[in-house]
Chains A and B, each alone.
Chain A
Amino acid sequence: MKLLVLISGGLLVLLNAAVLLMPEAGLPAGAVPGLSLLFGVVIVIAAALQRSEPAPTPVVSAPLPPAPAPAPPPAAPRAEAELVALLALLQEKGRLIDFVNEEIAPASDEQVGAAARVVHEGCRKVIREYFEIAPLRTETEGSPIQLTQGYDTAAHRLIGSVPDQPPYRGQLVHPGWEARAVKLPRLEPTTESRRWPVIAPAEIEIA
């Protein structure tokens, strides 16, 4: 889980760095916000799932059987399996795993742009279908914002020169996002022996 947060975070930073440092390299205009959103969403979900991982259940002591059977390999936490299932959806509909695993340096912007359309359309479909995502603040970017004592600190990140105490006055740089509903598919128990669901099965065309 942490790994995924790190990878997505890294990708997000790289993407933004690429835009800031090499504006002339010119990623297609649509790709940057779209991909930032995607990686961002992956981070948020991963973080959320990590938080919601159930606390280990206390073991109730019971009389030990004389010869304990060898323990089965520990099952992966449910949240991990569900996270991998989400990656599978993003891959199935939006080819996300194919996209991030492909070298795009040698490709032309036109090719990257065409691929970004596939990723954008598919991932958007998945995210709109299984999440209800809304901005945290309804003001437009650049609006003056005032935060008073007791503001929701989790939902606001203050940047710049921040005094110790509210009230704070500033400008809205990014209105933020929050999940209002999560309707992810429930995983059916599978008969297979692997720890997590398959992200994309190997495809074989039968002639």
Chain B
Amino acid sequence: MTTYFGIDLGTSHCAIALAQGEKEAPILAPITQRVTASGVAENPLLPSAIYLPAQGEGTPLPWEDERFLTGLFARERGALQPDRLITSAKSWLCHPHVDPRTPLLPWGSQSVEAKWSPLEVSRQLLRHALEGSRSARPDLQLEPAHGVITVPASFDESARNLTLEAARLAGLGEEITLLEEPQAAFYAWLERQGSDWRSQVNPGDLLLVCDVGGGTADFSLIAVSERDGTLALDRVAVGEHLLLGGDNMDLALAHGVAEALTANGTNLDDWQFLALVQAARSAKEQLLANREMTEVSLAIPTRGRQLVASTIRASLSREQVEAFVLEGFFPQTAPDEMPTMRRSGGLREAGLAYAPDAAISRHLARFLSRARLNVASSPALQEVIGPRALTQEGLLLPDAVLFNGGAFNAPVLRERVLSLLSAWAGREVRELQGAQPDHAVALGAAAYARLRATGQGVRIRAGTARSCYIGMESAALAVPGRRPPIKALCIAPQGMEEGSRIALEGETFYLYTGEPTEFRFFTSEVRGGDQPGTLLPDASQLDESARLEATLPPPEGHAPGEEVPVQIEAVVTELGNLQLFLVHVGSGQRWQLEFNVRME
């Protein structure tokens, strides 16, 4: 019996789900890991945390390296030593200003001498998740060809390729496939519903996947249409990378409680604050789940031995939770209220670009307005969505929502998002029933891995999430003090499907051979209508995603340093990643462009 598997390489946790044979429902695989300083046990989630032990601390597991420890223990141990703890490595993979191949984590650490690159950390986490699950289930054969790794829909091409590279380095071979997380959540829902899913949607529906995890929020829109007499699904828009999630809510609550304590003369140390965050999280979950509860008492122990004598008492009320979580993160805003995108200060600390605006409502409005822009630019997408695509000004509003992420276990948050969308749309936006907000990404990835191999079941048509452009300097007369704008040439349109290839036959570029040449690479998620060869006069309206570098050995019959004519070819592999090639016009010789350093 074949085992199909899906790996959720999450910002805060990794999970592996298994789908056995043709029919069995996907389940989470246990992952052997260190849970205490000397204890090893199985847990379905592996924290995406690496703890760099001080000398002689902890004995590594057979597949561990003595330089770092993983598992529940690593996260708990590291919480007390943030300087030696690596977290959120995944968000560094799509950081716009750093090269994810340079050793820079733990970010800002003063005590650690040997740092690690985000790419290496991702590789280690993948390897530990795999080795841990192999140790727990030695009977299973996990063949890379039957596996899928999920990435945020907001990951750009460069971050997607880095994820594949981390997977290759972790021993997952060349054949593992990528899947966007909101799509994975949708596949998990399809799998749970069986054939009943058709009764919950109608042709012409637009479905929003709203995924708010621990550290990130990720949105996608999926259109339902009728094709050849059956329902078809197309992913028509993806959001931007948003570092905002459930952890922010817990932190906001904890700060609120800590401020009240400080006002009464009680100050918390760092360890107590961590304990308070944990306590606030569990209080939040209780209050959001149970409408009758009005208040939850919190007890914050001190670090010393005196538990009874010095535990600090505090409480969290329903009003506080509603004020902080509901009004702070899901306020009832107007459809044209957009998030504050920049902090007011002139300088921002380097590090991860956490969303400056905590209101998920406003980020959602921005996503839906950008989705509308994208559809407005693309007749093909308008055709998929149907006549209602552009009826409403401003936002592209969904008909139904699929919720994902632990935060949405609370009915009150799901209701708030639905009422917000209904108010914006002027009609009722419904919830897709039967979703399971926890672990759906891994479970859906395993279901997709099976579907991909067997062809049994409905697939979401997706293709590349963004259109891709290459930057070109304008040929213009030099004027002192003025830099000519960078033009952008579309080389791969949105929605390029797996296994397809596009060559820009008409455009020829000249390249120096024998020396590294750098290309600037841009993407856009709002220009769905651009076709290969579309030339934009100014690239500054696009997102600069990566730099590409190529050193071309001279083709036969040419000397190094000679300028040769090349054409650009874009290929989306069977695994779903975008590759760019330069093809020598004379000989047909090809060179692959490597996604390289990000913007300086």
Q: How long is the Cα–Cα vector from A89 to B299 in the complex, in angstroms?
A: 19
How many A residues touch the partner, as a band? 20 to 34
Which partner residue on chain A sits nearest B30 by CB separation?
Answer: A183
Smallest CB separation, B275 vs chain A (Å): 9
Chain A residues with CB under 8 Å of B306's CB are: 98, 102
B-binding segment of A48-56, A62-70, A114-122: A114-122
A-binding segment of B33-41, B458-466, B561-569: B33-41
- Set B41, B59, B301, B303: member contacting A186, Cβ < 8 A: B41
Is B594 part of the binding interface, using a Cβ–Cβ cutoff of 8 Å?
no
Instruction: Indicate if the CB atoms of A88 and B308 lie closer than 8 Å.
Output: no
Is B549 part of the binding interface, using a Cβ–Cβ cutoff of 8 Å?
no
Is A79 part of the binding interface, using a Cβ–Cβ cutoff of 8 Å?
no
Complex A-B: 19 CB contacts under 8 Å: A88-B36, A95-B301, A95-B307, A99-B307, A102-B307, A104-B308, A112-B308, A114-B299, A114-B312, A115-B301, A117-B311, A130-B41, A183-B41, A183-B42, A185-B40, A185-B41, A186-B41, A188-B38, A188-B61
Q: How long is the Cα–Cα vector from A187 to B34 in the complex, in angstroms?
A: 10
Which partner residue on chain B sits nearest A96 by CB separation?
Answer: B307
Q: How long is the Cα–Cα vector from A88 to B36 in the complex, in angstroms?
A: 9
**7 nearest A-B residue pairs (beta carbon):** A185-B39, A117-B299, A185-B41, A115-B308, A114-B299, A114-B311, A98-B307
Task: Scan residues 144-187 of chain A and give those whose CB is less than 8 A from a CB of chain B.
Answer: 183-187
Which partner residue on chain B sits nearest A88 by CB separation?
Answer: B36
Chain B residues with CB under 8 Å of A57's CB are: none
Chain A residues with CB under 8 Å of B309's CB are: 102, 107, 111
- Set A130, A188, A201: member contacting B59, Cβ < 8 A: A188
Q: How long is the Cα–Cα vector from A204 to B298 in the complex, in angstroms?
A: 26
Is A35 part of the binding interface, using a Cβ–Cβ cutoff of 8 Å?
no
Q: Which residues of B contact A (CB under 8 A)?
A: 34-42, 59, 61, 279, 282, 297-299, 301, 303, 305-309, 311-313
Beyond A89-B36, A185-B36, 12 extra complex contacts between A and B, CB < 8 Å: A85-B38, A85-B39, A95-B301, A98-B307, A101-B305, A102-B307, A114-B311, A118-B311, A186-B39, A188-B40, A189-B59, A191-B59
Is A80 part of the binding interface, using a Cβ–Cβ cutoff of 8 Å?
no
Q: How long is the Cα–Cα vector from A130 to B35 in the complex, in angstroms?
A: 11
Which partner residue on chain A sits nearest B40 by CB separation?
Answer: A186
Q: How long is the Cα–Cα vector from A50 to B329 in the complex, in angstroms?
A: 53
Instruction: Indicate if the CB atoms of A184 and B41 lie closer than 8 Å.
Output: yes
Chain B residues with CB under 8 Å of A98's CB are: 305-307
Which partner residue on chain A sits nearest B269 by CB separation?
Answer: A205
Q: How long is the Cα–Cα vector from A203 to B37 in the complex, in angstroms?
A: 14
Smallest CB separation, A182 vs chain B (Å): 11
Chain B residues with CB under 8 Å of A95's CB are: 301, 307
Chain B residues with CB under 8 Å of A88's CB are: 36
- Set A104, A114, A183, A190: member contacting B38, Cβ < 8 A: A190
Smallest CB separation, A166 vs chain B (Å): 42
Which partner residue on chain B sits nearest A203 by CB separation?
Answer: B303
Chain B residues with CB under 8 Å of A115's CB are: 299, 301, 307-308, 311
Q: Given that A115-B299, A118-B299, A203-B303 are known contacts, is A99 also in contact with B308, CB under 8 Å in the complex?
A: yes
Q: How long is the Cα–Cα vector from A102 to B240 in the complex, in angstroms?
A: 53
Smallest CB separation, B216 vs chain A (Å): 26
Instruction: Indicate if the CB atoms of B308 and A185 lie closer than 8 Å.
Output: no
Chain A residues with CB under 8 Å of B61's CB are: 188
Smallest CB separation, B65 vs chain A (Å): 16
Chain B residues with CB under 8 Å of A190's CB are: 38, 59
Instruction: Indicate if the CB atoms of A85 and B36 lie closer than 8 Å.
Output: yes
Smallest CB separation, B214 vs chain A (Å): 18
Smallest CB separation, B315 vs chain A (Å): 11
Chain B residues with CB under 8 Å of A92's CB are: 36
Task: Scan residues 123-138 of chain A and give those whose CB is less than 8 A from a CB of chain B.
Answer: 130
Q: Which residues of A contact B (CB under 8 A)?
A: 85, 88-89, 92, 95, 98-99, 101-102, 104, 107, 110-112, 114-115, 117-119, 121, 130, 183-191, 197, 201, 203
Which partner residue on chain A sits nearest B297 by CB separation?
Answer: A117
Which partner residue on chain A sits nearest B278 by CB separation?
Answer: A121
Q: How long is the Cα–Cα vector from A191 to B66 in the complex, in angstroms?
A: 14
Q: How long is the Cα–Cα vector from A112 to B306 in the complex, in angstroms?
A: 11
Which of A111, A185, A203 has most chain B Cβ within 10 Å?
A185
Smallest CB separation, A129 vs chain B (Å): 8
Chain B residues with CB under 8 Å of A102's CB are: 305-309
Q: How long is the Cα–Cα vector from A49 to B313 in the complex, in angstroms?
A: 37
Smallest CB separation, A35 vs chain B (Å): 12
Chain B residues with CB under 8 Å of A111's CB are: 308-309, 311
Q: How long is the Cα–Cα vector from A133 to B229 in the complex, in angstroms?
A: 52
Chain B residues with CB under 8 Å of A186's CB are: 39-41
Which of B297, B298, B303, B305 has most chain A Cβ within 10 Å?
B305
Which of A104, A112, A115, A119 has most chain B Cβ within 10 Å?
A115
Which partner residue on chain B sits nearest A185 by CB separation?
Answer: B39
Instruction: Indicate if the CB atoms of A185 and B311 lie closer than 8 Å.
Output: no
Chain B residues with CB under 8 Å of A201's CB are: 37
Smallest CB separation, B480 vs chain A (Å): 55
Smallest CB separation, A96 vs chain B (Å): 9
Q: How long is the Cα–Cα vector from A203 to B77 in the complex, in angstroms?
A: 12
Smallest CB separation, A89 vs chain B (Å): 6
Smallest CB separation, B45 vs chain A (Å): 12
Which partner residue on chain A sits nearest B296 by CB separation?
Answer: A117
Chain B residues with CB under 8 Å of A188's CB are: 34, 38-40, 59, 61
Smallest CB separation, B279 vs chain A (Å): 8
Chain A residues with CB under 8 Å of B37's CB are: 197, 201
Which partner residue on chain B sits nearest A205 by CB separation?
Answer: B303
Q: How long is the Cα–Cα vector from A111 to B307 in the complex, in angstroms?
A: 9
Chain B residues with CB under 8 Å of A183's CB are: 41-42
Q: How long is the Cα–Cα vector from A142 to B313 in the complex, in angstroms?
A: 37
Instruction: Indicate if the CB atoms of B313 and A114 lie closer than 8 Å.
Output: yes
Q: How long is the Cα–Cα vector from A130 to B282 in the complex, in angstroms?
A: 20
Q: How long is the Cα–Cα vector from A13 to B442 in the complex, in angstroms?
A: 48
Chain B residues with CB under 8 Å of A185's CB are: 35-36, 39-41
Chain A residues with CB under 8 Å of B311's CB are: 111, 114-115, 117-118
Q: How long is the Cα–Cα vector from A40 to B15 in the complex, in angstroms?
A: 35
Which of A85, A89, A117, A184 has most chain B Cβ within 10 Å?
A117
Q: Given that A95-B301, A114-B313, A130-B41 are known contacts, is A107 also in contact with B308, CB under 8 Å in the complex?
A: yes
Chain A residues with CB under 8 Å of B279's CB are: 121
Chain A residues with CB under 8 Å of B297's CB are: 114, 117
Which partner residue on chain B sits nearest A103 by CB separation?
Answer: B308
Chain A residues with CB under 8 Å of B299's CB are: 114-115, 117-118, 121
Chain B residues with CB under 8 Å of A110's CB are: 313
Q: How long is the Cα–Cα vector from A98 to B305 in the complex, in angstroms?
A: 6
Chain A residues with CB under 8 Å of B305's CB are: 98, 101-102
Chain B residues with CB under 8 Å of A85's CB are: 36, 38-39
